[in-house]
Structure 1
Amino acid sequence: MVAAESEERFRTLVLASSAIVWRADAEGTTAFEPGAWLAFTGLRLRDLKRGAEEWLEAVHADDRARVRAKWSAAVAASTTYVCEHRLRRKAGGYAWVVARAVPIVRDGVAREWIGMMSDITERIEIERAREQFMAVLSHDLRSPLAAISISADALQHLRLEAPYGVLVEEIKKTSKRMTELVQDVMDFARGRLGNGIPLSRKRCDLGEICAEIVAESLRIHPDRAISASTRGDLSGEWDRGRLAQMLTNLLDNAVTHGTDPILITLVGDDSEVVLTVANHGRAIPTAALGMIFEPFSHAQTGLHSKGLGLGLYIVSELIRAHRGTVTISSTDDLTTVAVRLPRV
């Protein structure tokens, strides 16, 4: 009697909040609360195609593959699932929702999942407006920054005496850093508002790119233990500059948040190259792993950044542009980012 009353109160609360509660078994087969699902989507689950993934019919076609991949990865790793996507709305069109689920673990194994979908359309619309503003602002900043950099180069050729020569060098460093931040914002805008980050593909060797990035990092951080290991054919049709940017971001993240030794491993097989960046140090909380590649997520993940918090998001977008995949795992003393890049 008490259990039935508690369940009824819970159902009433869920319907009043417009949230959709769902469960999944250990294999990831989902079961949604039918009343909340009907109220939100206007669909009866029994009217959809039968099967473990029947609910995906209500997800926007452009989001389905990403949702399926994220859910499958979370189930495989028994980690928290977090995914933002579009879901059919009863009144017509699509709403933006955030889906979250946590595993119920017994004896170290996820036995079931409890999840909830919440409407975040208003928040997404505000974020889109902010992103458009950032894109316009960063575009307008490029010209004056270029002028500052060119002027600093001209002054440096004059070989000014101290303290003016030192000031010119500081101006160059600062303008370079500001240019990198503006480029990050531009890449962010392309990823969120456009058709993704554009690439200029040419034949290149990821092993050579890695050696250059490691050498550069060691010049900046001579006291750190950074090394690379390579095996197999590491060439492919990629954008060399973008892969260097991706590797730089991953290595900077390992140096900033991890401890030594930091090891980069590259292995090439017939169809792809697998890159891993591993560092020691404090484990990333399980709840944070699902949002680690989201923009501006450093506050939620506990990975405090000196920049805008776009580095790992841009990494994921660059890999997506190359039709690759990226995953992250973190144990008590080892965090590993794994990138798989198809050769073409």
Structure 2
Amino acid sequence: MPEYLLAIESSCDETAAAVITRDLTVLSNVVASQAELHERFGGVVPEIASRAHVERILPVIDEALTTAGITPADLKAIAVVTEPGLVGSLLVGLTAAKTLAMVLDIPLVPVNHVEAHLYACRLGAGRDIFPAVGLVVSGGHTNLYDCQSAVDYRMIGATIDDAAGEAFDKAAAILGLPYPGGPNVERTARTGNETAYRLPRTFLKEDRLEFSFSGLKTALLYEVQGQPGAHRTPPAMTPQRLADLCASFQAAVVDVLIAKLELALTRTRHRAICLGGGVAANGYFRDRVEAMARRRKVELFISPREFCTDNAGMGAVGWELLDRGRTAELDVDVKPGLIR
């Protein structure tokens, strides 16, 4: 008889549920986006996100089960993201998961959202990919990991300020591009010259596994609006200037990401990379990482695009955790916040 896992994700602004079989076949992966609710604010508003999760969590779970062609009684376990994220958002998903686990009398498996992004690479590969250097690049996280197994991750580096995805969103706001910023910056950059503006690459040549993008964001702001106290009027924002700024900004972010990935490979001596998170969907970044992996002769596993942004399919890691007995009692709580 097939065994089914229901995975639930509500850590930020996506309400998601998925049904995954024991052999890691994703039968359904339903995501209700809140992008339209937060667009006019230029970022996620926690209270709005929480209320939207309350409205959407049950319909999303029902659609995931219906699409998979199963009923709640068929479930073997419930996996749910409990960390990190927005406290109100996390609580909505966890409450739904606890209720189902109690009523159905099945195990409850807590999942770390950031680590699940790395497991999405394993899901896409269809085979074991560890040990590897892991990099999660998203709106809230830019973290490097020493991944010894599918459930054994040790963080070895992180951003000290803005995450890369957050920097893309702020850059888009500076440039007058719509939210979410990452896809719009990438799209605009396609016709730009990435060498047109020499923007800073913090820690690029330093022997440290840390990232910083706040200075880059500030440099872009000064390029667009002029430096405070300066008497020079910035050039008009023509379509080509906009494209050049986007391309130069994108290249600066990716240069640093690639450099730190290479440093992590050297330190860990791993021969594989796994790359996940929303920024991993960026085509320019993917091309640059692929070129680096070929040059260094290491294996590269990038999360499939459908698993890059927040979703519940990557909750398939719940099977790995379940097999190792890493379940939780019904009094388990969320662990909000960002992992820096």
Q: TM bucket by the smaller chain?
A: under 0.3
Q: Which has the higher contact order (CA 8 A, sep 6+)?
A: 2
TM-score norm. by structure 1 comes to: 0.22
TM-score norm. by structure 2 comes to: 0.23
Quick check: which one's strand share is greater? Answer: 1
Highest Rg: 1 or 2?
1
